[in-house]
């Protein structure tokens, strides 16, 4: 147990690279700044989640359906845990640069495996707490339940990530195994991951739409409950344990969650070394042959290099491109199901603003959350010296990272905006917003992410997942764009119908102005920042 606690403490200290900065001369102030910034982002995200949960609880309370509120929150948290675990499980559990170093320590293989499982659980629990704690407070304010509710809610809150985490880890390992057996294993695994995740999302939306029928409108609470049960099979047990205070349901929910977690931990501990060895094995087919070399202008060569580095890391692609693909898919879904979507939107949300403006904020949210530049410098790792010694100026390779981000995000934004425009047929002003807001958001987040990563970077990572999922450069641009786009969407809903274009046009101007200022700052400080890397 003592050795397990030491391993968990090491995992905690390496989070965000704060421990190294705290013990590096001259970087202690930066470490405290990173801690303060991370705390600010966490508080902002918690406040934003709480705000949206408040309006959801307010609407459900008005409809007399407050009882399904905890069930809805845990279903969202479970689905998010499942999807994100598929992303990060292979890198967190199987791919480690310090694999040999860790195994050389006087610690058993099972202890190392258990520490990594607990690490994944802790990360998922952190998000689950961020969703369920504000929801529990709001439910307590509106429903005024007994003390038994809070005890059951706290216990189930700790148990809820276990089953989706185990399922996500199994799916992630299976996809990695399937890709490893195919030619071009990295790209095969990436393609399989995208297919599985898109299938999961499409299936969830399909189940939701299937339940939105006349029977659901007649028995709305029961219909939504059946939908949640399809998305999260343990939702009925959770509802019985938390809302209905059923001891049998609580015992069943706890038994299933703990059994899945313990069985997965034992199984992973038994085959930890063999599984890591197999998944990290690389087989070379054929002999290496020197082929004709291609010459390109510096800008094109740098851009090609960025794309090569991008597609060399599966979790990097999954973490940044999935939102872009989802934005396009949601636009296609809007085109197909718009007759079903629009009545639901107007009936339950009561929107008075044009749908085109809200669609623009939705597209801008997905585009803004798909920032590649926030970790692009850190992912250079030990190869950064190659980039710094190229016969180009630092501004050239920095702009190459920005251009790659824009090459990924702007085409998806244009496709999504075009589909929405063809379906909704907005006026001129709304059409401008529909195209300009996602593009301006993409430009801003690309430049902002690079500036953040140039100032806050880490090159001592042993797993790419720690950079892509656990660094400030990955989180800060995402949280900022969530705050900007969700806040802007809320303000757009609050203004009168005659002024619905005021908020998005002001936001577009602010984003473009901020992008220009950041580019000017980047151009003037590029040489200095490159030397300090």
The pLDDT tens digits for 236-279 are 888 888 888 888 888 998 999 899 888 888 887 777 777 777 66
pLDDT of residue 15: 64
When pLDDT is averaged across residues 418-444 and rounded to a whole number, the result is: 88
Summarised one tens digit per residue, pLDDT across range 466-483 is 788 777 788 888 888 888
Q: Using the predicted structure, report yes or no on whether residue 44 has a pLDDT greater than 90.
A: no
Report the range of poorest mean pLDDT among 137-141, 264-268, 276-280, 366-370.
276-280
Please say whether the dihedral angle defined by the alpha carbons of residues 340, 341, 347 and 352, taken in this order, is positive or negative.
Answer: negative
The domain spans of the chain are 65-281, 298-533
* Residue 511: exposure state from Cβ atoms within 10 A (0-12, 13-18, ≥19): buried
- Give the rounded percent of residues in the chain with a pLDDT score beyond 90: 12
pLDDT of residue 213: 46
pLDDT of residue 97: 62
pLDDT of residue 220: 45
Contact criterion met (CB below 8 Å) for 314 and 187: no
When pLDDT is averaged across residues 283-305 and rounded to a whole number, the result is: 72
Contact criterion met (CB below 8 Å) for 41 and 125: no
C-alpha to C-alpha distance for 293 and 458, rounded to whole angstroms: 33
Summarised one tens digit per residue, pLDDT across range 143-201 is 888 888 889 889 998 998 888 888 888 877 776 666 555 445 455 555 655 565 555 55
C-alpha to C-alpha distance for 229 and 183, rounded to whole angstroms: 39
Q: Using the predicted structure, report yes or no on whether residue 335 has a pLDDT greater than 80.
A: no
* C-alpha 289, offset from chain centre: 40
Q: Using the predicted structure, report yes or no on whether residue 519 has a pLDDT greater than 90.
A: yes
pLDDT of residue 283: 46
Most confident listed range (18-27, 161-170, 216-225, 455-464): 161-170
Report the range of poorest mean pLDDT among 60-69, 79-88, 100-109, 334-343.
334-343
Contact criterion met (CB below 8 Å) for 503 and 358: no
Summarised one tens digit per residue, pLDDT across range 212-229 is 444 443 344 455 555 555
Summarised one tens digit per residue, pLDDT across range 379-416 is 888 888 888 888 888 899 999 999 999 999 999 999 99
pLDDT of residue 435: 92
- Structure-model confidence comparison of residues 11 and 288, the more confident one: 11
Summarised one tens digit per residue, pLDDT across range 344-360 is 444 444 443 577 888 88
CA-based nearest residue to 95, from 317, 318, 271, 279: 279
Q: Using the predicted structure, report yes or no on whether residue 444 has a pLDDT greater than 90.
A: yes
Provide the token pair at 228: 């949640």
Torsion of CA 340, 346, 351, 355, to 10 degrees: 30
3-state helix, strand, coil in the chain (%, to 5): 80, 0, 20
pLDDT of residue 513: 95
Q: How far lies 197's CA from each of 17, 32, 126, 382, 416, in Å? A: 30, 37, 22, 32, 19
C-alpha to C-alpha distance for 270 and 268, rounded to whole angstroms: 5
- pLDDT classification of 53: cutoffs 50, 70, 90: confident
- Structure-model confidence comparison of residues 456 and 519, the more confident one: 519
Q: Using the predicted structure, report yes or no on whether residue 328 has a pLDDT greater than 50.
A: yes
pLDDT of residue 197: 55
């Amino acid at each position: 147990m003592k050795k397990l606690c030491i391993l968990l403490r090491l995992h905690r200290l390496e989070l965000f690279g704060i421990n190294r900065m705290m013990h590096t001369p001259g970087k202690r102030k930066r470490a405290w700044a990173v801690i303060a910034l991370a705390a600010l982002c966490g508080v902002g995200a918690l406040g934003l989640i709480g705000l949206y949960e408040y309006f959801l609880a307010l609407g459900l309370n008005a409809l007399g359906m407050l009882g399904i509120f905890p069930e809805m929150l845990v279903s969202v948290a479970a689905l998010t845990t499942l999807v994100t675990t598929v992303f990060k499980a292979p890198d967190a559990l199987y791919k480690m640069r310090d694999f040999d170093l860790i195994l050389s320590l006087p610690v058993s293989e099972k202890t190392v495996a258990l520490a990594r499982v607990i690490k994944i659980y802790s990360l998922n629990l952190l998000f689950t707490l961020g969703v369920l704690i504000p929801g529990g407070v709001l439910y307590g304010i509106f429903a005024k339940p007994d003390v038994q509710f809070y005890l059951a809610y706290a216990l189930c809150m700790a148990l809820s990530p276990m089953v989706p985490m185990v399922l996500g880890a199994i799916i992630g390992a299976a996809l990695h195994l399937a890709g490893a057996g195919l030619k071009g294993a990295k790209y095969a695994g990436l393609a399989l991951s995208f297919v599985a995740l898109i299938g999961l999302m499409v299936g969830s939306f399909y189940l939701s739409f299937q339940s939105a029928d006349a029977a659901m409108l007649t028995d709305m609470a029961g219909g939504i409950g059946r939908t949640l049960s399809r998305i999260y099979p343990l939702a009925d047990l959770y509802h019985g344990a938390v809302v209905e205070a059923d001891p049998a349901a609580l015992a069943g929910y706890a038994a299933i969650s703990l059994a899945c977690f313990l069985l997965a931990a034992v199984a992973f501990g038994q085959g930890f070394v063999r599984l890591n060895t197999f998944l990290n094995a690389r087989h070379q087919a054929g002999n290496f042959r020197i082929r004709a070399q291609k010459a390109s202008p510096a800008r094109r060569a740098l851009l090609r290099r960025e794309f090569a580095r991008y597609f060399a890391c599966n979790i990097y692609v999954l973490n940044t491109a999935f939102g872009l693909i989802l934005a396009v898919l949601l636009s296609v879904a809007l085109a197909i199901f718009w007759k079903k979507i629009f009545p639901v939107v107007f009936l339950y949300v009561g929107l008075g603003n044009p749908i085109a403006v809200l669609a623009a904020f939705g597209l801008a949210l997905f585009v803004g959350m798909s920032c590649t530049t926030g970790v692009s410098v850190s992912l250079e790792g030990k190869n950064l010296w190659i980039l710094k010694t190229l016969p180009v100026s630092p501004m050239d390779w920095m702009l190459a990272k920005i251009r790659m981000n824009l090459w990924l995000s702007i085409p998806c934004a244009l496709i999504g905006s075009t589909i929405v425009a063809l379906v909704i047929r907005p006026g001129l002003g709304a059409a401008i917003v529909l195209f300009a807001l996602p593009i301006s958001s993409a430009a801003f987040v690309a430049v902002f992410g690079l500036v953040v990563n140039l100032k806050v970077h880490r090159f001592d990572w042993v797993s790419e997942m720690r950079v892509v999922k656990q660094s400030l450069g990955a989180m800060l641009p995402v949280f900022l764009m969530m705050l900007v786009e969700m806040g802007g969407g809320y303000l757009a809903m609050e203004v009168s119908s005659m002024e619905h274009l005021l908020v998005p046009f002001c936001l577009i101007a602010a984003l473009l102005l901020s992008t220009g200022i950041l580019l000017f700052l980047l151009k003037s400080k590029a040489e200095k920042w490159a030397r300090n890397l």
